[in-house]
Amino acid sequence: MTDPVSVKNYFIEPNADLKAADLSDADLSGLDLTEANLTGAWLFNSDLTDATLTSAILREAILTDAVLKNASLRKADLRDAELNYADLSEADLSEADLTNAGLTNADLRDADLRDADLSKANLTNADLKGADLRDADLTDANLSNVDSNNDGSRVYSISGTLEVDQELSLNIDTKDPEGYNSNYIPTYQ
């Protein structure tokens, strides 16, 4: 077990109780916050690169402009969290609960979102290039202007409900699953 690290007069360690803590602009890169309670914490513009937040509680946390590149957020509770403009590229968000999370303009390139709950999340203008969304729940998520160009090597399932007069567009990559055969013709059922 590692010794706690003091950041802005808070002790950072696994299982830490950091409810409503103000850690804005803090350097938390590489730190272990496994199962920490960060409910309502302010992490605006903080650096959490390579941090471990596995099973952490971040409900209603403010992570706007935070850098979480390559962070482990596996099974994290991020319900109602604000992650607008956050850098979550290459982050592990598998099995995370992002219900009703704000992810406007978030960078989710190459993020692992397998089995994540993104229901009712706002992903407007988010960058999902290369993100793994297998078995993710996107029910009622706002996917307006999402950038999701991919190499055709992943399978996505998108479901949701549209209001009257809303437009839905879906781009289908016609490459084969390995991305090699440009003559592949998809079949629909």
pLDDT in tens, 53-109: 999 999 999 999 999 999 999 999 999 999 999 999 999 999 999 999 999 999 999
> Which two three-digit tokens encode residue 189?
């059922």
| Under 8 Å between Cβ of 119 and 141 | yes
Rounded CA separation 130/146 (Å)? 12
DSSP bridge pairs for 127: 107, 147
pLDDT on residue 147:
84
Q: What's the pTM value of the predicted model, to 2 decimals?
A: 0.79
| Under 8 Å between Cβ of 133 and 113 | yes
Rounded CA separation 184/4 (Å)? 55
DSSP bridge pairs for 95: none
> Among 45, 58, 59, 53, which Cα is nearest to 13's?
53
| Under 8 Å between Cβ of 15 and 38 | no
| Under 8 Å between Cβ of 8 and 28 | no
Task: Give residue-wise pLDDT tens across range 7-58.
Answer: 888 889 999 999 999 999 999 999 999 999 999 999 999 999 999 999 999 9
Rounded CA separation 87/78 (Å)? 15
Task: Determine how β-strand 10-12 pairs with β-strand 5-7.
Answer: antiparallel
- Round the CA-based radius of gyration of the chain to a whole number and report it: 18
Average pLDDT over residues 107-120: 97
Rounded CA separation 35/20 (Å)? 15
